[in-house]
Structure 1
Amino acid sequence: MTANRTPKTIMGIGAHVGDVELVAGGVMASHHLKGDRIFTLALTAGERGVPAGQDVHAYREQKVREAHTFAEMLGGAARVFEIPDGEIPDDQEIRMRVADVIREVKPDIIITHHCNSMHKDHATTHRIVNDARYFASLRALERELPPHFAAKLYYGENWEDAVDYVPYVYVDFDQQAFDLWIEALSTHWFVTGSTSFNYMDYYKSLARVRGLEARKQYAETFMVPPETMKLRQGEL
């Protein structure tokens, strides 16, 4: 840990196990190596991407194990809700559940999905997280735990969430963080074994491309809430 640096807590909230691990894993690995705390929350396991011939319930258990393995390799912890893949409710109850976890974890930073997606669970999770962050911060909203405000909210770059995604923030990381990320990511079957999309090559290549754009080795990009898109400077 850098001297005189206050540790941060980074919370990634995805629709499925593997979502935030793909789009923000390099940055989370980098933060772990700097002494920060990592926590991931998946609203579903993503079990309906089950390999041919495998039982969906067994695959759900596998996905949950993969979530915990990834987080633990980054020195953190994971949680997976029991909601069936593809069936995330867009209601107040789920917003309160996520708000309660935010109050429990007390993140400084939250990373989740961009608003537009080809996958309904991703777009629903975006709306849920935005509202849950607000509810978690309300002093007048009495829950089991006291309020907490996560000061920063980022939306990760996901190939399924590409419509109107424009990189706003580039966060770079070094070879050590990249290697840790890829080692942890390799514990997810769908990243290494899926025949529908080559996740590993895509996200490894994307990290290198974004790193080149940032004049660095590797980087991941993020959007931020529109109301926080303010560059403050006194002159050109």
Structure 2
Amino acid sequence: MGMRILAVGAHPDDLELQCAGTLAMYVKQGHEVFMAVATNGDKGNFDVEPEELARTREEEFRQSCEVIGATPIWMGYPDELLENTMEIRLAFVDMIRQVNPDLVITHGPNDYHPDHRYTSQLVWDALPLAGVANVKTSRPAADRQVTLYYMDNLGGIGFNPTELVDITDTIEVKKAALAKHASQTDIFMRLLNVDLLDVVETTGKFRGYQSGCKYAEGFVKVEAWYRGLSKRLLPESDADSAFEYRIQTR
């Protein structure tokens, strides 16, 4: 039976950088994937006015979701200024109810950017409220509490995954989706001399070395009262099974 996967990023390219290979794996295996973005990315370029940049980044995000096969959710809060207010928390509750997911993926609480950390906190705070009927939003309460996963930090810095996903079969989809964010890949190269496509290639190989495959993405399952499940919810590939078999029969 197919699952509903909700991934929530702070900026229009965060999910592509950190977990798009896994999201593409879910789509490939017949699950329904939703990609939500909290902010509009309007402050990210010094030479483009915010209003114009927000339009560009939304269009790039929607094109990226099309590459992955995911449904886009654009929340549109101003870039660099996200806060964990009650108004925004309830908007996150409503967004979660819209999807009614089986699991949620978002930033870890120790990520480098305040928008990332606030997105993480907003998701964490909204998840229990999404199933409470007397917390009123435009949509009815979700019918269960949901397992939460934190995705890798950019470059794998300060992140120790507890579960890894083999994305060897979907690394090219991940890179194609990220490439749709031309306004962001261009500014990183011009300002920082950083090739974001190389970042995902290098980090993917690094996580792959840790997990016995060519490319992987890392996650931490959040252990909390009545949120966890005894079974694995992250996707497994045929390569995972083959590697396990080789280990067992050596």
TM-score normalised by L of structure 2: 0.82
Q: Which residue does the alignment assign to 1:81?
A: 75
Report the CA distance shift for 1:207/1:70 in structure 2 as closer, same or farther (over 3 A).
Answer: same
Q: Secondary structure at the match of 1:26?
A: helix
Q: Could you tell me whether the CA contact under 8 Å between 1:116 and 1:161 is conserved in 2?
A: no
How far off its partner does 1:161 sit? 8.0
Report the CA distance shift for 1:120/1:161 in structure 2 as closer, same or farther (over 3 A).
Answer: farther
Percent identity between matched residues is 27
Q: Which residue does the alignment assign to 1:40?
A: 35
- Aligned-partner residue type, residue 28 of structure 1: L
2: CA distance, partners of 1:231 / 1:104 = 22
Alignment of 1:15-26 (within 5 A): 15-26=10-21
Q: Secondary structure at the match of 2:25?
A: helix
Q: Secondary structure at the match of 1:16?
A: coil
How far off its partner does 1:113 sit? 0.7
1:180 equivalent among 161, 167, 173: 173
2:138 equivalent among 128, 144, 147: 144
Report the CA distance shift for 1:141/1:158 in structure 2 as closer, same or farther (over 3 A).
Answer: same
Report the CA distance shift for 1:68/1:110 in structure 2 as closer, same or farther (over 3 A).
Answer: same
2: CA distance, partners of 1:67 / 1:172 = 24
Alignment of 1:55-204 (within 5 A): 55-148=49-142, 149=144, 151-159=146-154, 162-163=157-158, 165-175=159-169, 177-190=170-183, 192-193=185-186, 194-195=188-189, 196=192, 197-204=194-201
Q: Which residue does the alignment assign to 1:3?
A: none
How far off its partner does 1:128 sit? 0.4
Q: Which residue does the alignment assign to 2:214?
A: 217
2: CA distance, partners of 1:174 / 1:159 = 19
Q: Could you tell me whether the CA contact under 8 Å between 2:162 and 2:220 is conserved in 1?
A: yes
2: CA distance, partners of 1:144 / 1:85 = 25
Deviation string for 1:44-64 (max 9, x for gaps)?
0222111x4322221111100
Report the CA distance shift for 1:230/1:61 in structure 2 as closer, same or farther (over 3 A).
Answer: closer
1: CA distance, partners of 2:55 / 2:228 = 43
**5+ long unaligned stretches in structure 1:** 1-5
2: CA distance, partners of 1:81 / 1:140 = 23
Q: Could you tell me whether the CA contact under 8 Å between 2:90 and 2:126 is conserved in 1?
A: yes
Report the CA distance shift for 1:172/1:160 in structure 2 as closer, same or farther (over 3 A).
Answer: closer
How far off its partner does 1:150 sit? 5.1
How far off its partner does 1:32 sit? 0.9
- Aligned-partner residue type, residue 79 of structure 2: D
How far off its partner does 1:217 sit? 2.4
Report the CA distance shift for 1:160/1:90 in structure 2 as closer, same or farther (over 3 A).
Answer: farther
TM-score normalised by L of structure 1: 0.87
